[in-house]
Amino acid sequence: MPERSEDKVRSRQLSQDARPDRQVMASPSQRLISTLDENRQVNFQEKLLIIDLSLEDQDVECLKFLCQDYITPRKLEKCSRALDIFEYLQQQELLSEEDPLYLAELLYIIQQKVLLQHFDYTKEQVESWLQTRRRVSHFRNLLYELSEGISSENLRSMIFLLKESIPNVQMNSRSFLTYLERQAKIDEDNVTLLENLCQKIVPNLMEKLDKYKRERKFLMKIIQQLEENTYKSTEQALRSQLPLPGPPAPCCQNLGCLFSDAKQKYENSLEETEKRAAPELCPHSDCVELDLGRLCMAGHLNFGNVDVSLEFPEKVSGEEK
C-alpha cells in the first residue's frame, strides 16, 4: 500500500531527529543540566549557570527591570544573559553561596519558582522569608506588576495620551515605566500619573495602586513616629551632656545645629538600612510587612540593628477607637 502523507511527515521528522547535527543542536542547556544533576556535588557557580540556561530572554529582561535599584542603567544595558546580572549582584555582595535569598526573591517574583529547588528552597519558605528580608522594594514590585498587566494595546493608548512628553521610540511596558521614572514623572511617593493612566485605560490595575498607596501611607506614619522618638531621645541625650553655662562655643554648641546633624545621620542610616540591612525576625506575632522590616501590632519595629517600640492607639475589632 502507498504510504500515507501524514506517515511520510512523521517518518521524515523522526529521521531528522535522529541526525547527529540535530541532536547536537537540540538543547545544550538540557544536556548540561542533566550532566550536572548526575553529579549531585554541584557547586554554587554551576547552580547559577543552570539557572541562567533555564531562563528565556523575557525572564532576563524582567530581572534587569527588578534590579534597577542595585545595578546602574549602564551596566544593565550590557547584560545579555542572566549570568551577567548574577556577576554584578555578586560584586555588590547581594548574592553569595551563603545568602542566595535575593536571587530566590527575584525568581519568585518572575514566576520561576521551580528554579528555587537549586537552592533547596520551597515556595513557602521564600514567601515566609520575604516578610522580613525582601530587597525588591514595594515600589519596584508595583511597577513590575503593572508592567505585567499592561498589554501592547494598553501601552499604545498610554503613549498616545502622553504623546508630547514621550519620545518616538519603540517601547514595551517595562521600558515605558522606566522612562517615566527616570524623567521623575513617577516615584515611590508620586503615582498620580499612573493612577490617571490606569483609570482611563486599565481600570483593573487600580486595585494594585490603591493597595500600594495604603501601604506607603502606613509606612510614612511609622517613619514619622520613629523620627519623633529619635529626636526625643537625641534631645534628652544632648541636654544631659550640655556643658555648664560659659563662653559661647563653636556652632555645634547650638542645639538646632545638633538636631540638624542628628537628622542627617538618621536619614543616612535609614537609607543604608533600606538597601543593605537584613532585618531579623520579630519576636511578636501578627506582624505587618514593611519595606524596611516588620511592624507588629504591639508597636515593635525591627530593621537591621535598630529596634524601636512605637506607640499606637488600641484597636477594637480591627478598627481604631
Indicate the pairing of strand 306-309 with strand 315-316.
unpaired
Predicted confidence at residue 126, as pLDDT, reads 94
Question: Which one-letter amino acid corresponds to residue 39?
Answer: N
Does residue 296 have a pLDDT over 60?
no
Task: Please state which of the ranges 38-42, 72-76, 101-105 shows the lowest mean pLDDT.
Answer: 38-42
The pLDDT score that the predictor gives to residue 64 is 97
DSSP 168-185: SS---HHHHHHHHHHTTS
- Picking from 57, 51, 59, 58, the residue whose alpha carbon sits closest to that of residue 29 is 51
Q: Enter the pTM of the model.
A: 0.63
CA angle 30, 174, 201 (to 5 degrees): 125
What pLDDT is recorded for position 81? 95
**Count of alpha carbons within 13 angstroms of residue 293, beta-carbon side:** 26
What does the domain layout of the chain look like in residue ranges?
5-136, 141-201, 209-240+251-320
Handedness of CA 33, 129, 61, 73 (dihedral sign): negative
Q: Which pLDDT score, from 0 to 100, does residue 178 have?
A: 96
Write out pLDDT tens, residues 219-268.
888 888 887 777 667 666 666 665 544 444 444 333 344 444 444 555 55
Q: What is the pLDDT of residue 133?
A: 87
Interatomic CA distance for residues 35 and 122, integer angstroms: 23
User: Domain 5-136 sits in which CATH superfamily?
Assistant: Death Domain, Fas (1.10.533.10)
Euclidean distance between CA atoms 40 and 29, whole angstroms: 17
Instruction: Round to whole Å and give the CA distance between 247 and 254.
Output: 13
**CA torsion sign, 260 to 261 to 264 to 269?**
negative
Predicted confidence band at 277 (pLDDT cuts at 50, 70, 90)?
A: very low
Question: Does the structure show a pLDDT above 80 at 158?
Answer: yes
Which has the higher per-residue pLDDT, 221 or 159? 159
Higher pLDDT: 216 or 278? It is 216
pLDDT, residue 186, reads 96
Low-confidence winner among 38-42, 76-80, 87-91 (lowest mean pLDDT): 38-42
Q: Residue 139 — pLDDT band, cuts 50, 70, 90?
A: very high
Most confidently modeled of 34-48, 143-157, 211-225? 143-157
User: What does the pLDDT read at residue 191?
Assistant: 96
Note the helical H segments in the chain: 5-18, 20-26, 28-38, 44-54, 57-66, 73-77, 82-91, 101-109, 123-133, 138-149, 152-161, 173-182, 192-201, 206-241, 255-276
Contact 166, 183 (CB under 8 A): no
The cell numbers describing 235, all together, are 534631645
Mean pLDDT score, 314-320: 42
